[in-house]
Amino acid sequence: MAKLKILEFPDPRLRKKAIPVETVDDDLRALIADMFETMYDAPGIGLAATQVDVHLRLLVTDVSSDKSEPYVLINPEIVEMDGVTVTEEGCLSVPGYYDSVERADHIRVRFLDRDGKETEMEAEGLLAVCIQHEIDHLDGKLFVDYLSEAKRQRVRKKLEKERRHAAASAM
Ligand code: NI
């Protein structure tokens, strides 16, 4: 297993739209293992392939506090959604920034599991929010897109400034 590099906003590669996975094979399962390692190490509760610069429709999540609820969703598609919930969200691609986003509180999602088998599940609360957040990544969308333009620019400037400082001290 290997830890993968996570792209950070405003990297244009985060805006690519991912294409469907055609074959669920050992190569894909190796990528899934690396994505879990990367997500747990960060630490985070969800990671979309887009964030590690692989533009396939694949995401992993685990909203538990003890790594006990790992889910792999390949070619996920939300087939039902209802209710409204507002959650303080963060994102591994927008480090150190959190803000409130409104999403559906309950979803039904159809996907292929890690064996390539078509599956459906219902999710609510944080898991539902996380899956919606990750599917947005696959469509090239970030949670900061739900904020005002002014707020998004502030986040962008702050992250760019922090990266300049990091580069300077790494010399
Ligand atoms: Ni994210």
DSSP collapsed to 3 states, 80-110: EEECCEEEEECCCCCCCCCEEEEECCEEEEE
Strands 85-89 and 71-82: unpaired
**Mean pLDDT to the nearest integer, 137-157:** 95
Per-residue pLDDT tens over the stretch 16-74: 999 999 999 999 999 999 999 999 999 999 999 999 999 999 999 999 999 999 999 99
Quote the ligand 1 centre to 25 CA distance (angstroms): 25
Quote the ligand 1 centre to 91 CA distance (angstroms): 4
Least confident of 34-48, 135-149, 153-167: 153-167
Residue 154, φ and ψ in degrees, nearest 5: -65, -45
Quote the ligand 1 centre to 49 CA distance (angstroms): 10
Can you say whether residue 24 is alpha, beta or left, with left for phi > 0 and alpha for psi between -120 and 50 degrees? beta
Residues annotated as catalytic (active site), given as ranges? 134
Can you say whether residue 37 is alpha, beta or left, with left for phi > 0 and alpha for psi between -120 and 50 degrees? alpha
Does residue 163 carry a pLDDT above 90? no
Residue 57, φ and ψ in degrees, nearest 5: -80, 90
Q: Find tokens 């985060």 and name the residue.
A: 14
Quote the ligand 1 centre to 93 CA distance (angstroms): 6
CB atoms within 10 A of CB 8: 17
Among 63, 137, 75, smallest CA distance to 110 is for 75
Strand partners, 74: 58, 112
Q: What confidence score (pLDDT) does residue 67 get?
A: 95
0.85 cut: is pTM over it?
A: yes
